[in-house]
Structure 1
Amino acid sequence: MENNNWPESGDFVVCSVKDVTDFGAYTTLEEYGGKEGFIHISEIKAGWVKYVRDHVREGQKIVCKVLNVDSSRRHIDLSLKDVNEHQKRAKIQDWKNEQKATKWLQFVSEETATGEEELQTVIHQLLDQFGSLYAAFEEAAISGADAFTEIEMKDSLLDSLVQTGQNNIKLPFVDIAGFVDLTCYLPDGIEAIRTALDAASKVKEEETKIDMSYTGAPRYRIKVIAPDYKKAEAVLKRAADIAIDTIEQLGGKGEFHRHNDTVKA
């Protein structure tokens, strides 16, 4: 990843303590190419601090909050006391996730013989769209190749990225299914059914995926994968309603069934 970027005031950053002095501690920022930051003794801990070494030591990994950045002087002021335990745990987890994602992307580039320049171009696009590499792999696990329609990359790279995300990220998702019976006896009835299914499949909701499949005339299965049952049920109902509304507008009929075993033959 590129290291010419700088953190912003208010960001939480993972640091390695480099040098401890009587008036504070010098650190290197793990996510920013080892740029140096400084924690003044007044920002070590709330209250009076007699010895900085009682609170931090060389080689220690800590999470700090960025107070000020002066890129012209290459200086970053940090605070340790402004980070609570929850923020620390969340930041450490994000950092670990991004380290894993960086390794996965390196594997993808080697597997697809992707050059460094091409890889950096893709990295910039992924960061712009998803905010982090790990989030990009999460989207790959959720939505497959559909998550990357706005990013230009060769097919082999796309396939490897999606496969790697799906192999490595196991998200807490539920999947449910319902069924729609769609009939249309007009001369263009088959095309009307296709139109209805296509409209239903285009229902979009964050972190959800819809699959449509044929189970036997006149029944079609709608499968929804979502983070929780409430969202899954809402998306399933919306997709079914759209399929039914569309087929009825085109001169056919539609009916929704939530569970296959309760549907009349």
Structure 2
Amino acid sequence: MATNQPNLECRMYEAKYPEVDMAVMIQVKNIADMGAYVSLLEYNNIEGMILFSELSRRRIRSVSSLIKVGRQEPVMVLRVDKEKGYIDLSKRRVSEEDIQGCEERYNKSKLVHSIMRHVAETMLLDLEDLYIHVGWPLYRKYGHAFEAFKLIVTDPDSVLNALTREVKEVGPDGQEVTKVVPAMSEEVKDALIKNIRRRMTPQPLKIRADVEIKCFQLDGVLHIKEAMRKAEAAGNNDCPVKIKLVAPPLYVLTTHTLDKEQGISVLNDAIKACTEEIDRHKGKLVVKEAPRAVSEKDDKLLADQLKLNSAAEDADNDEGSEEEEDTGMGEIDLDNAAIGITE
């Protein structure tokens, strides 16, 4: 399978051309007098054409508003001339359901292709040969290689050990014989598993909600603390809930989870439990930002904000210590003062 200069260009699927009435992902290359020339991204960028009459069901007033060079989008296959290599496409005939299905399939195929291409490049393999013996057999068996790759993350041998190839050898008697051998070497197999695990192992999402909690009653600080405990108790082993003070009266609730919807649901339950508890003591909880998945950038901004508030609090505490020495006012409960009751 190895060559000095491996071929790294290959279509994603076994079929060289798409089927008629199939939605495919394209990228617009240029716009001509009759229509737009596009590349079929899943089929090694073979060329297709969208006639202007197939851009929209409505009267076209501005072509540029309907199609732009460089844009990627799903379109419908109208005709395929395999001999001449002509592929006619339509934008106006693709439905919302077709678009959703095409985008989902393309995103999976693009990830599989990226992994396959990286393995071929690093192991000096012909990409099409790797697809012939590994990728396309997995497409046939699992419906999509993406589904097989998900299984490989936890149990690679059950998927990959079943893949074989036939090789011809000359026997002792001079006759050519066919032998069945593993589809790839152990080195290639290890490289494929490593890349799949690196790219496809699920990463926990951080879900966060921002709330304001106030309570002006006697022992209001204690009531807020109890409400926070109720919020944290709403979590579970899969989605533990943590609540932190940013600056009175602003708090953030967070959880980490592999399931975004579950994480959002758990935080909503936590907010509900916290609200019910603080309402009992005539306090108030206001949701400033509803539960949502946050990025590393959001995390860093929150961490920076917490550091600034901590530094400011330390400065206030230092000033308080000096005043205590001068006036003899006694000790202050700094923990409670940090959570505080907001005027």
Question: What are the Cα deviations for residues 207-235 of structure 1, in whole angstroms up to 9, with x where unaligned?
Answer: xxxxxxxxxxxxxxxxxxxxxxxxxxxxx
Moved more, 118-127 or 71-80: 118-127
Q: 5 Å matches for 1:1-265?
A: 2-3=10-11, 5-109=16-120, 113=123, 115-116=125-126, 119-122=130-133, 123-141=135-153, 143-152=155-164, 153-170=184-201
Shift of 1:45: 1.2
Q: Tell me, what secondary structure is at the counterpart of 1:7?
A: coil
* Aligned CA-pair RMSD: 2.8
Aligned residue identity for 1:54: S
**Partners of 1:89 and 1:15 in 2: how far apart?**
14
Verify the 8 A CA contact 1:145 1:158 in the aligned structure 2.
Answer: no
**Partners of 1:108 and 1:74 in 2: how far apart?**
30
**Partners of 1:134 and 1:22 in 2: how far apart?**
40
Q: Tell me, what secondary structure is at the counterpart of 1:9?
A: coil
Aligned residue identity for 2:198: N
Verify the 8 A CA contact 1:145 1:159 in the aligned structure 2.
Answer: no
Q: Which has the larger radius of gyration?
A: 2
CA gap 1:86/1:49 in 2 versus in 1, 3 angstroms: same
TM-score by length of 1: 0.55
CA gap 1:71/1:144 in 2 versus in 1, 3 angstroms: same
**Partners of 2:111 and 2:92 in 1: how far apart?**
28
Aligned residue identity for 1:166: R
Shift of 1:132: 4.0
Q: Tell me, what secondary structure is at the counterpart of 1:147?
A: helix
Verify the 8 A CA contact 1:28 1:37 in the aligned structure 2.
Answer: yes
Shift of 1:78: 0.8
**Partners of 1:6 and 1:93 in 2: how far apart?**
19
**Partners of 1:19 and 1:74 in 2: how far apart?**
18
What fraction of aligned residue pairs are identical, expressed as a percent? 23
Shift of 1:65: 0.9
Aligned residue identity for 1:146: S
Verify the 8 A CA contact 1:38 1:76 in the aligned structure 2.
Answer: yes
Shift of 1:131: 4.5
**Partners of 2:90 and 2:154 in 1: how far apart?**
37
Shift of 1:51: 3.4
**Partners of 1:59 and 1:107 in 2: how far apart?**
24
Unaligned runs of 5+ in 1: 173-265
**Partners of 1:106 and 1:23 in 2: how far apart?**
36
Shift of 1:124: 3.8
Aligned residue identity for 2:71: Q
Unaligned runs of 5+ in 2: 1-8, 165-183, 204-343
Q: Tell me, what secondary structure is at the counterpart of 1:31?
A: helix
Aligned residue identity for 2:36: A
CA gap 1:17/1:121 in 2 versus in 1, 3 angstroms: closer
**Partners of 2:86 and 2:109 in 1: how far apart?**
24
Shift of 1:60: 1.6
Aligned residue-pair number = 171
Shift of 1:15: 1.0
